[in-house]
Chain A
């Protein structure tokens, strides 16, 4: 089992649809990050959320940190084929321990 559980594990949608990915834990994190990973590459940072209840927007992507700092969500509006990839949440614990979620594999069909 992993400290951070993501759902859904797989998501296949049509271009233009909206989607939400969830990241949940029983632990409180000092901050939470979302990464995107392409095949054959390491993950690349999308956003960091720090404050409970914080909402950040990155173009069509909206990230929210739960009030208790134990969970987070990523919402994509009007998904495009270029959004296809593996989305990973990562929690920073005690400032040095850095744990990743199980990942959500997104496929956006044209």
Chain B
């Protein structure tokens, strides 16, 4: 069974630009969560999508948004990039959860903002 895939793996952008990251979950998984990982803050939850609806949201500004398609693939968008947005962005998929499912992570997208 193929794992979670994320594209692109690496991105370099400049301040003020916008970026879109993509995540394809494991086949049959309907929940996709996004996380930001930085050396200073560690792993922080961005949002979770389930059946094309945002189910949970972390404490990030509105510049961070996402969506999920009918095939469960998800995209994350960051507008008006700032230097502090440089991070590893990870997505994770799981089956529908009651709070008890293992999350399977992709390899991440490394975003560098210059």
- Do A and B pair up? The answer is no
The chain B residues found within 8 Å of chain A, CB to CB, are: none
